[in-house]
Amino acid sequence: MFELMGSMSVHVRCMNVVQGVEMLTRERFSRGLRASYWLVQLLLVCCFLWGRPVSALESVRLESDPALPRIEVNIEPTERQWLDSRRVVRLGTTALGYQPLELVRGESLRGITADYIAIIGSSLGLKVEVRVYPDWTTALAALTAGEVDVLGRGSSYEAQLPGMQLSTPYTENQPVLVGRGGDLGEGSALKEGRLAVVDGYVSLDELRMRFPNVQMDIYSTVREALHAVEYQNDRWLICDAVTVAYHLSLGELPSLRMRPFIGPKEQGYSFVFRANDYRLRSMFDRVLEGIPRLAQAEILGHWGVNSRFDSANVSVFSPEQLQWLAGRPEVRVAVSGGGPPYGFFDDDGEFRGLMADLLTEISQSTGLRFKMIEYPSAKDILQGLRIGAAEMTVMLLPTPERKEILQFTDSFASSSFALVTRRNTSIRRLADLHDQKVAMVEGSPPVSYMHERYPAVIPVLTADYIDTLVAVADSKAEAAILVLPISRYMINQYFPKDLRIVTSLAQIQANLSFGVVKNNPMLFDVMQAAVNHLEPRVVGNLVERWQNSLPAKTSVWGSYERRIRWFFLAGAGLIGLLVIWQGFAYYNRLRSRAEEARQAFRSALLDGIPESIVVRDLHGSFLFCNQAFYRTFDLQANEVVGRTWSEIGGLDSAQDEAQEQAYEALLQRNESLDVRQIELMVNGETFTFTQWAVPHHGNDGRIVGVLMGWIDVSATERLMRQLQEVRDQAVLASEAKSRFLAVMSHEIRTPLNAIIGLLELTMERVDRGEAWDRSAIEVAYSSSGSLMLLIGDILDLAKIESGKLTLEPQRSSPQEILESVERVFHGLARQKGLFLEANVQLDSAKDVMVDGGRLKQVLSNFVGNAIKFTDRGGVKLSLRTWEAGDNLCLVFLIEDTGIGISPVDQKSLFEPFSQVLGQSSQRGGTGLGLAICQQLVEMMGGSLMLDSAAGRGTRIKVELQVPSLEPEIAQPQQHSQETLQSLALRVLLVDDHLPNRLLLSQQLQFLGHSVHESEDGQQACDCLQVESFDVVITDCNMPVMNGYELTQWIRAQEREAGRERCVVIGFTANAQVEERQRCLAAGMDDCLFKPVSLAMLRTCLGQFEQHQVSSPVPVPEPVAANAPIVELSQFFDLDLIESLTEGNHQMIHVLLNELHTSNVADLNRLEQLLDTGKWRDMGQVVHRLKGAARMVGAKQLIEATRAYEEGLAKALDDDSARCRAIDVRDAVLQLQLAVVEWMSTSA
């Protein structure tokens, strides 16, 4: 049962005996011991009467709506006589009030109870006096003692007290459950969590019996309990609907909802009388029963509970006030923009917010005209009010200091304060702020509250709210206390990631009211009446409206700018006073100095701009120019100022017309901006400028001149033109190369046709048991040789077209250079139906020291152009040589029967980026111009001559004089067994990949050398410390220590020990020129690229005969002629392996077996790295597999490893890298199967 439900503000502050008695009463009553209940209650009342004296805190006036009805009731003559003798009815209430039933604000009582007793008083002809007591217990004692006649908000609790009786209920008391939306469902409500209970409203014992899993927290007021649920200190609250609806309408609790609480139906709130005062109770009942339902609904609606019904409007102002308002006086209101949502200035400078809307409401109802005067802080507002700059303010809370100069109206709304901290702190309540700095607005209510309750807190006083939050954000204070709605607005707008509200402080209230200067009592009375007429529902709706909108960001931060502005204005005022004091003459001097300062500031401002800016009058004369203008056009001020464009000698006179057009656009057509791009001659050089011009207006708004400027965009335009030219050249080069490769495709396929056809025919004959056709194989071999030569020439040409202009002279044959060029362009000439003849006249067949690649580049360009610009006939290419001392004279002639070149076009032919116009310009080019050819020839010390005419072809002559070389001694191509043994070397072979190491070891042994193997550079170092070798062949990329580090270590050891230099040869699969240069830079003597044949090894090792030793090495027997051969060319190249081993069948078996074993280990490592996604580590394994693939000619594996390494260099994503790694793994597996198949069939 909820028999104790109803009184939400019962504060048990009696002596210990009173508390013990009341606890005993509740305990016994909850257990059903009603027999002793009345005795206990009698003892309780006795404690009230005799335990301490009863005294009211103060008397306040009753405030109610003037439009409330007066009820006609039937009163007996004796009752009327009794009323006339009383004339006054005394109402008791508490200081904390019970909103919205009873609201004690300032010196008045308002609320639902106040409205009903006002109706009763006017209906019975009684004057109502209101006395305020500290708590409800004291008020009950005062009623018993006869100090007051009646109390409001009585419920079933007071009805059970001895000596008390209740009137007819004047409003309902419906219990509701309050919480967040998700906590109010039937499945979750009051199941497990914390429940907030207002002291005295419900029986705690009965709640514990109904909800055993719920912990309860007791609060003294409804506001504190609601705020505890809002900030999730509790999940639910049980209270009455009227009180909850009122607090929710104030806008401070946006997250809370309520639903009916299932329990005994309460009869409602009634008036409480002494049991012997039945006559007064009877008359109260008759009035209450006569109040119309419309009036009851209007009272509830007025206090934000139910719908409100409009009634006839009755003026709330006195005749004197109405007469004063008839003049529509203007009231100056001192405001600050630093308190959203209560007050702020938007981007347009308009005062907005709750206060602005309330002033608008009051203006509409009173006719007052409010003029907003902005001040940066509360201190400045007070100063403005003192000096009479304003009559009232809306931004100050009542404090003793402010009450000295201001009268504050009754509050129209109230708000809690909030505790704000940084997000990374552990502060949760005020008790956590011991010895901590707390920021508060100077003069605000929290300052005195914290001083009294928490003296250990160190206050940091600020001028306004934004300074308070900034102090916390900048760690100048650990927390801040300011009004809750303002905290929410400013944190959401300016500090969402830095600050947070940890809890609300319902015990500290900000009572919002209007402050009026004391010397204007009429304005105060009007504002007081207007505030009394404001409906709480209106205030609540306004708060809710501004809760969901954000102010302009500049509204608060703009106060800093306004402070600076006021600072400067104050300084200017002080200077003005000093000027007046010193006299008119001194004032004139200061004004002239200020003018000079402004002129200097304008000059410094314009001179600091790096672009040219000028000011010209309506006639075009220059009035002012900045320094950038003088620097750009190389002029002086005395040459420009006062003159027009055409009168200045240093400016381009050709721009007179453009300047006139700009002036016409601005002055006659009233255009606001003119921008155009012009070219000006400055000191004989052409510059491109972006010229802009805007009109200059005088004080009267008329155009008095033009402001112009020039932005130099010459470099940008030049770069854009060069970029376009380079792009065009790149497109032409790409097209030329595509055509060139198309021709080469034909030339490559021709010998390939012979090679493939003859080899296929030979295989078929062998399968039929026919004899080998050696002549067919020789033809195929010859065709492959010519094909390799052609491919080499093509690659040389590709390098020439993109190479750098540097010369690397080396032994070259002039005849071979000429024949190489002829071979490259022979197919192109034949495709066009032209002949290409090569004629050689050699008086000396010596080789020369010349950069053959650059010479090929020059000849290729000339021959290519000759073929391109020749449609009929052909091209002759000739070479003539003769000796001139130690040099050899070379004369190359290129003659064609093409379209020729006119003398006019020949003048610009050798200039960069030049191309002959007309028909020839449509034929494209390779990107290697004649200017480059001329430069190369000059770098070689030669000359270039051109003889041509339009329509009769072109003749180009290149003359060079280069050093001649003696013929080389031919090296024997066949080596006997004795020769191999006589050149036996001690070789240290270092390679981490077993198949590569095995193959190279077998090849070296076959050549008659002694081989010692090491798996990495560290093992090689250990071996070299105990044994000496003639040659070290090392792989470049190895774990532990790579080949470059090994070579550097060997060279360092040789220098320290003074040993003879050992030959070090690099061994790598990266066949790049840069790799060879890196090997030589590391100290190696040579570099071999995989795969390495026996001939390559013979040539390389033959250079180092000084390291030969006497011990012969046996040479393995050649492979038998009838060894089985399996055709598995799609997986590995058996012919390549046989050429590497020179047909040694046993060596092939050993090599493939070791390859298979090594691949098994690499596959395991590959699978591990594939699972973990370590693509960079997998690159080492892939590089080792690439070397093995090159050794056996495994094309599929070579392509897979190359694709993976390219992807690794491009930093592909994980999915792409995984796909390429899987391709490598599959290629290795296929190679393993092919190796197993071949070894099983050839065993």
Q: Please write the tens of the pLDDT for every residue from 1018-1066.
A: 999 999 888 888 899 999 888 888 999 999 999 998 888 888 888 999 9
Of 739, 766, 795, the residue at which a domain comes to its end is 795
Whether 599 is covered by a domain: the verdict is no
Residue 647 maps to which CATH number? 3.30.450.20
3-state secondary structure of 420: strand
Asked if residue 192 and residue 139 are part of one domain, the reply reads: no
Q: Please write the tens of the pLDDT for every residue from 312-340.
A: 345 678 888 888 888 878 999 999 888 88
What pLDDT, on a 0 to 100 scale, did the predictor assign at position 1112?
A: 40
User: Mean per-residue pLDDT for 893-907?
Assistant: 83
| Cβ-contact 62, 128 below 8 angstroms | yes
| Cβ-contact 853, 803 below 8 angstroms | yes
Structure tokens at 728: 């065009």
Q: Angle between the 1043-1057 and 1073-1082 helix axes, to the nearest 10 degrees?
A: 30
Which residues, listed in sequence order, are joined to residue 92 by a DSSP beta bridge? Answer: 131, 151
> How are beta strands 835-842 and 943-948 bridged, if at all?
unpaired
Asked if residue 934 and residue 984 are part of one domain, the reply reads: no
pLDDT band at 547 (very low <50, low <70, confident <90, very high): low
Count of H-run helices and E-run strands, the chain? 42, 42
- Phi, psi dihedral angles at 342 (to 5 degrees): -70, -40
Of 774, 795, 816, the residue at which a domain comes to its end is 795
Q: What percent of the chain has pLDDT over 90?
A: 19
Q: Please write the tens of the pLDDT for every residue from 9-57.
A: 333 333 333 333 343 333 333 333 333 333 334 444 444 444 444 556 6
Give the CA count within 13 Å in the CB-facing half-sphere of 1199: 8
Averaged pLDDT score across all residues of the chain:
78
What pLDDT, on a 0 to 100 scale, did the predictor assign at position 1121?
A: 34
pLDDT band at 8 (very low <50, low <70, confident <90, very high): very low
| Cβ-contact 266, 5 below 8 angstroms | yes
The lowest-confidence range among 293-297, 493-497, 553-557 is: 553-557
Structure-model confidence comparison of residues 25 and 240, the more confident one: 240
pLDDT at 1181 over 70: yes
Whether 1084 is covered by a domain: the verdict is yes
Structure tokens at 1149: 């078996």
> How are beta strands 674-682 and 515-517 bridged, if at all?
unpaired
DSSP-derived secondary structure letter, 339 = B
pLDDT band at 876 (very low <50, low <70, confident <90, very high): very high
pLDDT at 550 over 80: no
The lowest-confidence range among 174-178, 373-377, 527-531, 630-634 is: 630-634
User: Mean per-residue pLDDT for 382-405?
Assistant: 90
For 967, counting Cβ atoms within 10 Å of its Cβ (0-12 exposed, 13-18 middle, 19+ buried), the class is exposed
**Helix (H) or strand (E) segment spanning residue 88:** strand 88-94
Give the span between the Cα atoms of 298 and 310, in whole angstroms: 7
pLDDT at 144 over 90: yes
Asked if residue 1009 and residue 1151 are part of one domain, the reply reads: no
For 347, counting Cβ atoms within 10 Å of its Cβ (0-12 exposed, 13-18 middle, 19+ buried), the class is exposed
Give the span between the Cα atoms of 640 and 273, in whole angstroms: 101
The lowest-confidence range among 290-299, 317-326, 754-763 is: 754-763
Whether 1 is covered by a domain: the verdict is no
Asked if residue 466 and residue 417 are part of one domain, the reply reads: yes
Which residues, listed in sequence order, are joined to residue 339 by a DSSP beta bridge? Answer: 343
Give the span between the Cα atoms of 851 and 842, in whole angstroms: 20
What pLDDT, on a 0 to 100 scale, did the predictor assign at position 454?
A: 93
User: Mean per-residue pLDDT for 166-184?
Assistant: 84
In sequence order, what DSSP letters do the residues of 618-668 get, joined into one string? TTS-EEEE-HHHHHHHT--HHHHTT--TTT-TTS-GGGHHHHHHHHIIIII
Of 712, 730, 750, the residue at which a domain comes to its end is 712
Residue type, 615: V
Give the span between the Cα atoms of 484 and 507, in whole angstroms: 12
Q: Angle between the 994-1006 and 1145-1172 helix axes, to the nearest 10 degrees?
A: 160
What pLDDT, on a 0 to 100 scale, did the predictor assign at position 1107?
A: 44
DSSP-derived secondary structure letter, 233 = S
Q: Angle between the 354-366 and 536-547 helix axes, to the nearest 10 degrees?
A: 140
Asked if residue 504 and residue 558 are part of one domain, the reply reads: no
User: Residues 788-798, buried b or exposed e (16+ Cβ, 10 A)?
Assistant: eebeebbebbe
| Cβ-contact 374, 337 below 8 angstroms | yes
Residue 765 maps to which CATH number? 1.10.287
Whether 11 is covered by a domain: the verdict is no
The answer, yes or no, to whether the previous bond of 340 is cis (omega within 30 of 0) is no
Q: Please write the tens of the pLDDT for every residue from 1078-1123.
A: 888 888 988 887 767 777 788 788 777 544 443 343 333 433 333 3
The lowest-confidence range among 153-157, 212-216, 1008-1012 is: 153-157
pLDDT band at 743 (very low <50, low <70, confident <90, very high): low
Number of folded domains in the chain? 10
In angstroms, what CA-CA distances link 708 with 418, 612, 622? 56, 8, 10
Asked if residue 1002 and residue 1054 are part of one domain, the reply reads: yes
**Helix (H) or strand (E) segment spanning residue 350:** none
| Cβ-contact 568, 575 below 8 angstroms | no
Asked if residue 648 and residue 671 are part of one domain, the reply reads: yes
In angstroms, what CA-CA distances link 401 with 213, 387, 444? 51, 16, 10
Give the span between the Cα atoms of 509 and 228, in whole angstroms: 15
pLDDT band at 261 (very low <50, low <70, confident <90, very high): confident
Q: Please write the tens of the pLDDT for every residue from 72-123.
A: 888 888 888 888 888 899 999 998 778 888 888 878 899 999 999 999 999 9
Residue 273 maps to which CATH number? 3.40.190.10
Structure tokens at 214: 């719920």
Structure tokens at 492: 């959401």
What pLDDT, on a 0 to 100 scale, did the predictor assign at position 928?
A: 41
| Cβ-contact 273, 281 below 8 angstroms | yes
Give the span between the Cα atoms of 558 and 564, in whole angstroms: 10
Give the span between the Cα atoms of 1218 and 68, in whole angstroms: 85
3-state secondary structure of 338: coil
Residue type, 861: N
User: Mean per-residue pLDDT for 1123-1151?
Assistant: 67
Asked if residue 860 and residue 928 are part of one domain, the reply reads: yes
Q: What percent of the chain has pLDDT over 70?
A: 79
Sheet with 1010-1014, side-by-side order of all strands: 1010-1014, 986-990, 1031-1035, 1063-1068, 1086-1089
pLDDT at 562 over 80: no
Whether 1229 is covered by a domain: the verdict is yes
What pLDDT, on a 0 to 100 scale, did the predictor assign at position 217?
A: 92
Structure tokens at 956: 């180009």
Asked if residue 84 and residue 46 are part of one domain, the reply reads: yes
User: Mean per-residue pLDDT for 793-798?
Assistant: 51
**Helix (H) or strand (E) segment spanning residue 256:** strand 256-260
What pLDDT, on a 0 to 100 scale, did the predictor assign at position 524?
A: 92
> How are beta strands 236-240 and 344-345 bridged, if at all?
unpaired
pLDDT at 781 over 80: no
Residue 887 maps to which CATH number? 3.30.565.10
Asked if residue 963 and residue 829 are part of one domain, the reply reads: yes
Q: Please write the tens of the pLDDT for every residue from 477-492.
A: 999 999 988 888 889 8
Asked if residue 830 and residue 723 are part of one domain, the reply reads: no
Residues 6 or more apart in contact with residue 18 via CB below 8 angstroms: 12, 44, 47, 48, 51, 137
Q: Please write the tens of the pLDDT for every residue from 426-462.
A: 899 998 999 999 999 988 889 989 999 999 999 999 9
Whether 352 is covered by a domain: the verdict is yes
Phi-psi region of 1135 (alpha: psi -120 to 50; beta: other; left: phi over 0): alpha
The residue among 861, 838, 830 whose CA lies nearest residue 733 is 861
pLDDT band at 392 (very low <50, low <70, confident <90, very high): very high
Whether 598 is covered by a domain: the verdict is no
User: Mean per-residue pLDDT for 485-510?
Assistant: 89
- Phi, psi dihedral angles at 740 (to 5 degrees): -65, -45
> How are beta strands 1031-1035 and 810-812 bridged, if at all?
unpaired
First-to-last alpha carbon distance for the chain, in angstroms, is 103
Give the span between the Cα atoms of 14 and 7, in whole angstroms: 17
Asked if residue 136 and residue 43 are part of one domain, the reply reads: yes
User: Mean per-residue pLDDT for 511-537?
Assistant: 87
Averaging pLDDT over each range in 238-242, 603-607, 806-810, 968-972, which range is the top one?
238-242
Give the span between the Cα atoms of 1095 and 1080, in whole angstroms: 22
Residue recorded with tokens 């003769």: 882
Give the span between the Cα atoms of 1017 and 1004, in whole angstroms: 20
Give the span between the Cα atoms of 1151 and 329, in whole angstroms: 112
pTM of the model: 0.34
Which residues, listed in sequence order, are joined to residue 839 by a DSSP beta bridge? Answer: 878
What range defines the domain where residue 1149 resides?
1145-1241
| Cβ-contact 809, 960 below 8 angstroms | no
Whether 387 is covered by a domain: the verdict is yes
